[in-house]
Amino acid sequence: MTQHDTSPTDLEDHLRRSSQALTRRSLLLGTGAAGLAIGLAGRSDALYTSMPEAGRRGPRRGYGPLVRDPRGILDLPRGFSYRILSREGQPMRSGGGLVPSNHDGMGSFKTARGGFRLVRNHEVYPDAEHFVPTEGLATTYDPGAGGGTTNLLLSSSLKVRAEYVSLGGTAINCSGGITPWGTWLTCEETEDKAGVGNYEKDHGWIFEVDPYDNTRNADPFPLKDMGRFMHEAVAIDPGTGIAYETEDAFSGAPLGSYYRFVPNKPGGGYGSLRAGGNLQALHVPGLEDLSTVREAGTTFRDIEWLDVPDPTAAQTPTRAQDYPKPITRGQKLEGAWWGRSDHSSYFVSSFARPKDGSQRSHDGQVWRYDPRRNTLTLELIFLGDDSDDRYECPDNICVSPYGGLMICEDSSGENYLLGTTAGGDPFVFARNRQQIGGGNTGELSGVSFSPGGRVMFFNVYDPGTTFAVTGPWKRR
């Protein structure tokens, strides 16, 4: 029998009673936070990562109102500044073509001399303006596909020293995740097979990309045991090597699920995932649709993981295969992140609508799976529907080294980078001002902090732009 946590802490109870509409106007006209408008439950230290002492010195109510950027690109709080590292269509710094379109998920890595390396996804569809170069490159998987990854090498002063292709010929590289051994997993968000369009090979895989040694990225190897489906993101438990994967099945029946991959070589290291493993889908007893959970802090126990009959989805998508029990589903399962201090896997449901196959509507959820306690908890929910002006559609997320979450918004209107303090207060950190038509701005994606927390990196999807943001992160 499923057990539901019905005895919240005083903090959780206060958060729930304080929940109210979170509107753009109230946030923008306030001091960077609008009270406890998002129901964010749980221990405050559950959102810290490797720098909890910095979190205790971090902002109590955000970083203040946004200052309008005279360049019309990116609004930030007072004291913060941005640098544009790379834009689509510009020549890549190391030659080899133009910067590809559709900047999406991204990981950041340190260098020996205090600089940084970035691995950036390109969610390139067949109609994109700039494809990832493939001609004559050993990093090409399928010459008929235009997606992939590019790497950037940055100095400690954030100057771009090199920019080059690290994976080409893949399709619709959406998000991914950093491995504990310092590589990037890039995920294809498609189930198209060879023969679709110009594709010469099947797609829908995860690939491992080395940010340091590009010779390792030659002859790309699809990690087939990790599944072939509409991948979004992945987060790895450094203690066990288990990878948690999200599936972004946008609409229709059945919706996507949340998976875990148990590797045959749990010790990790570059190439270890090629040894294969076992892919399993989530089963929460009594919960078939995540959208039906409306109260932050709701916890489910006795989680089960069901073996996926055919991870390669040769005939039937993984989410539609036969399981001994109903797998738990959610609409647009997107960003994923591993919380180091609480040893938990966070993941996002970007939104849910009954017209797309969900049972209930919401404007976004953030879930936390705790493998030690084998529990699943709704940590944050954006209550709303598609008729209001609330903040909506959380996508890529990361845990801030200063406490709380940083959340990229992917909506049909203006798009923002949102934050939460360690105590649960929401705030707006950035607003994308670049118009792409109809009053819309491009989604934000790929947010991550540099090792040490000095720089925050993120992308704008369209026009593809990579930013570095610095400023008084510890300011109260």
Q: Which amino acid is at 175?
A: S
Looking at the predicted structure, is the pLDDT value of residue 232 above 50?
yes
Q: What CA–CA distances, in Å, run from 6 to 115, 173, 365, 406?
A: 48, 40, 19, 28
Q: Residue 463: is the preceding peptide bond cis (ω within 30°)?
A: yes
Q: What is the pTM of this model?
A: 0.88
What is the pLDDT confidence band of residue 142, given thresholds at 50, 70 and 90? very high
What does the pLDDT average to over 137-159? 97
pLDDT at residue 391 in the model? 56
Find the mean pLDDT for residues 326-344: 90
Task: Tell whether the model's pLDDT for residue 51 goes beyond 50.
Answer: no
The Cα–Cα gap between 232 and 408 comes to: 14
Q: Residue 198's CB: how many other CB atoms inside 10 A?
A: 11
Is pLDDT larger for residue 338 or for residue 141? 141
The residue behind tokens 């080395």 is 210
Residues whose CB is less than 8 angstroms from the CB of residue 217 and which lie 6 or more positions away in sequence, other chains included: 138, 139, 166, 167, 209, 210
Q: Give the mean pLDDT of the chain.
A: 85
pLDDT at 379: 83
> For the chain, which residues make up each domain, given as ranges?
1-86+407-471
pLDDT at residue 59, rounded to an integer? 65
How much of the chain exceeds pLDDT 90, in percent?
65
Lowest mean pLDDT among 25-39, 115-129, 201-215, 402-416: 25-39
For 92, half-sphere exposure in the C-beta direction (CA atoms, 13 angstrom radius) is 22
Give the tens place of pLDDT for each residue, 429-462: 999 998 877 767 788 999 999 988 999 999 999 9
Tell me the C-alpha distance between 328 and 150, whole Å: 34
Tell me what pLDDT residue 474 has: 82
Q: What is the mean pLDDT of residues 52-77?
A: 79
Query: Within 10 Å of residue 216's Cβ, how many Cβ atoms?
Result: 16
